[in-house]
Amino acid sequence: MKNIPVNIRFFTNVGVLLSVQMFARALNFVYIIYLAKYVGAEDFGYLNLVLSVVIIFDALGDIGLGRFLLREASVEVERGQHYASAFIPFRLTTAAMANVAVVLIFLAFGFSTPVIELALVASCGLYFTALASLLEAVLQGRSHFPTIALAHLSLSVAQVGLGVAVIAFDGDVRAIAAVFVAGNLAYVAVLYGGLQKAGIKLNIRPDFALCFSVVPGAFPYAVVYGLFIVAVRVELIVLGWFHPGPELGLYGVAARMMDAAAIAPLAVGSVLAPRFIQFHAQDGSQLADLYAWALRLVLLGGFLGAMLAVEFAAPIMSILLSRSFDGVAELIVILFAAYPFVAVYYLNLALLLGASEQKHTVIIVASLVALQAFISLAIIPAYGATGAAAAFCLSSICAAVASTAMITMKYAPGVPLLRAAMPALLGAIPCLWLTFSDGLAIDLLKDALGLFLYAAISIATARLLSLRNPT
């Protein structure tokens, strides 16, 4: 089989971005546990609900300009800088509109005054997230991933450091929301410094005519991105409506663990996004080779993450959380049963968003979100937090299968799916058998043997079933 040299820069970029984000997420993991214990399950649930709504309105305010800018910056640097300079004043305007909309939403649904005050504070971060999405798109288009990684690290360090300070001085949950705003300010500052260091100059000026002229081309990205953000939060929002209180906090902690684990496939997708954009314009064979290779990578990581969560969620949560969070480990196990499918879906989105024509992407993502909402509304009212976790699991499986089918039919025909997936699938079989068997009385020995067999079988199968290396 023909071998194409692997681009070492890809491994460097993924390694830098992933390692920094893993450290940042580990830091956030400790902080989230500490924060949840400090504010309690109910307030932690409301904080998650408010931040989820803020993130959704940030996506709506973006109108697809961030992704449009990434596409333009990946193709031509000067054009990307030109668009970024014009987009910034426009995005600050849409952020102001989103800020008002968030507060009105919580007023309209009759939430209590403390929750509305929480929304007032947290929604101020929309201005900084608007700037960050544009600056990061320019840097990503130029493959400045070390700078992006440093910005992500700064965001986490600022939020954790300030959050711990707020807790140390007995601050309330509104002060914690202010930390979200301050962290995003640090994020923007590092991104802007990276642009200056790279010699990328932005001549910022209002040009609303230009912005409105690109909206038709950017709008499909807005729809897909907005739907994706909604999809990530659907179960939490439905649960917050039908089961406000402690159950919302339990699911919030479990969902944060999934958010932390999602950095791995997101990092792979972020680094590959410019290459997907370029390969979409060429013949399908290169895109198919790159996708098969990336699919194998995220499946191997996905099954490993799922196994680690299933084996270690209960003992770790019992040590870190108080008894008011009993049951969160079971939710984590249900969520992470879908982790391989989550990883595949995030990779698939990166490929689909690289296409110049987004009609099919909009259709499939909208259909999946509608299905997810239906599943959530059917299960969560009766089963609460457990139903939310189960709904997420079912929706993730459907999303991975449907998006993979679309890619193989329309964008990358001939992808050797079974060949790409076989190492992870074969490696997972003995681990599943050990997990549900009573052959070994010592759980730690069972876990170690399972991970060893997964690594050995996966590596051996990957060597036997080699793929064409992407450029």
Query: pLDDT tens-digit profile of 207-228?
Result: 888 888 888 888 887 788 778 7
**Banded pLDDT at 125 (limits 50, 70, 90):** very high
Q: What is the dihedral of CA 19, 22, 26, 27, to 10 degrees?
A: 70
CA 63 to chain centre: 19
Least trusted range by pLDDT, from 12-16, 144-148, 166-170, 452-456: 12-16
Taking alpha carbons only, the member of 298, 313, 301, 395 closest to residue 351 is 298
pTM, rounded to two decimals: 0.72
Q: Is residue 388 over pLDDT 50?
A: yes
Q: Is residue 174 over pLDDT 50?
A: yes
**Banded pLDDT at 437 (limits 50, 70, 90):** low
Mean pLDDT, residues 25-51: 81
What pLDDT was estimated at residue 1? Answer: 33
Q: Is residue 469 over pLDDT 60?
A: no
What pLDDT was estimated at residue 38? Answer: 84
**Banded pLDDT at 446 (limits 50, 70, 90):** low
In the predicted model, what is the mean pLDDT of the chain?
83
Mean pLDDT, residues 281-303: 83
CB atoms near residue 322 (< 10 Å)? 11
CA dihedral over 403, 375, 370, 346, signed as positive or negative: negative
What pLDDT was estimated at residue 7? Answer: 52
**Banded pLDDT at 2 (limits 50, 70, 90):** very low
310: enclosing H helix or E strand = helix 284-320
**Banded pLDDT at 393 (limits 50, 70, 90):** very high
CA 336 to chain centre: 14
**How far is residue 17's CA from residue 33's CA, in Å, rounded to a whole number?**
24
Q: Is 416 helix (H, G, I), strand (E, B) or coil?
A: coil
Q: Buried b vs exposed e over 139-178: b needs ≥16 C-beta within 10 Å?
A: bbbbbbbebbbbbbbbbbbbbbbbbbebbeeebebbbbbb
CA 364 to chain centre: 18
- Whats the size of the chain, residue-wise? 471
Q: Is residue 257 a contact partner of residue 314, using CB atoms and an 8 Å limit?
A: no
CB atoms near residue 208 (< 10 Å)? 11
Mean pLDDT, residues 288-309: 87
Q: 246-261 and 339-352 helices cross at what angle (nearest 10)? A: 60
Residue 100's alpha-carbon distances to 52, 79, 123, 127, in angstroms, are 16, 32, 8, 12
What's the CA angle centered on 64, arms 78 and 12, to 5 degrees? 60
What pLDDT was estimated at residue 4? Answer: 38
Mean pLDDT, residues 330-354: 91
